[in-house]
Structure 1
Amino acid sequence: MNEVLAAFGLVDIRVGTIVAVEQFPEARKPALKLEIEFGAGIGRKKSSAQIVKNHAPETLVGRQVVAVVNFPPRQIGPFMSEVLVLGVPDETGDVMLLKPERPVPNGGRLY
């Protein structure tokens, strides 16, 4: 059990606020480009997210999300995704973003 807890502690999961959203037409599967503010120490990071079935771009700016901030950046077509935004599948398997129940400070770490 201690090994599982130690491994979990290596994944840095933080809260951030989406500050910009763009369509990502070059992506193989429908996706959006997100710019997320994580606050002091982390700053703004970009992510590609396949969330278009459940999340309209115009509803995302200002929304808080939960993301892994310490995985290596990943090249997705012409775009470098710097963080992994977390979600869970809905009843049809499409992504629903995870978010805090109420507003919290950006950069807060999951524990």
Structure 2
Amino acid sequence: MRSPADPPAAEISPDDFFAADIRLGTITRAEPFPEARKPAYKLWIDFGEGVGEKRSSAQITAHYRVEDLPGRRVLAVVNFPPRQIGPVRSEVLVLGVTDSAGHVVLLEVPAHADVANGVGVS
């Protein structure tokens, strides 16, 4: 993760950027993830018809309560290879930024915005 004081990373081409398939999804379910090495939640995210529902884990316990996560509309990379994180197979990378204490804040789209699940970043 980069801090505000870090210089920009090396330049990439537009093709490099667009190779990452970043989509909007709605968290449908969230559970504690007590087996994780660092505090985390297990997430189920609906990306719509083309991608479907995918699972992930996220170290977002500092800013979010598990019961407040369903319904949040988040951005995630859906074309990374799955990773096994303890007993959880993480299928997508949920995107966020870190606050001054190093805790993750989710990148979200407001619930009132008329944007469908599965829409990609453009």
Asked which structure has the greater CA Rg, the reply is: 2
In 1, Cα distance between the equivalents of 2:53 and 2:33? 18
Shift of 1:83: 0.3
Q: TM-score, normalised by structure 2?
A: 0.86
In 1, Cα distance between the equivalents of 2:109 and 2:21? 16
Q: 1:78 is matched with which residue?
A: 87
* 1:1-111 to 2 correspondences below 5 Å: 4-101=13-110, 102-103=112-113, 104-111=115-122
Letter in 1 for 2:76: A
Q: TM-score, normalised by structure 1?
A: 0.95
Alpha carbon RMSD of aligned pairs, Å?
1.3
Structure 1: runs of 5 or more not aligned: none
Structure 2: runs of 5 or more not aligned: 1-11
Deviation sequence 1:36-73 (CA, Å, 0-9, x none): 00001100000000000011111110110000000000
Q: 2:7 is matched with which residue?
A: none
Letter in 1 for 2:35: E
Tell me the secondary structure at the aligned position of residue 13 of structure 2.
Answer: helix
Letter in 2 for 1:68: V
Letter in 2 for 1:22: E
Equivalent pairs, count: 110
Shift of 1:23: 0.5
After TM superposition, which residue ranges in structure 1, 4 or more long, deviate above 3 angstroms?
Answer: none
Letter in 2 for 1:81: S
Identity of aligned residues (%): 57
Moved more, 90-99 or 64-73: 90-99
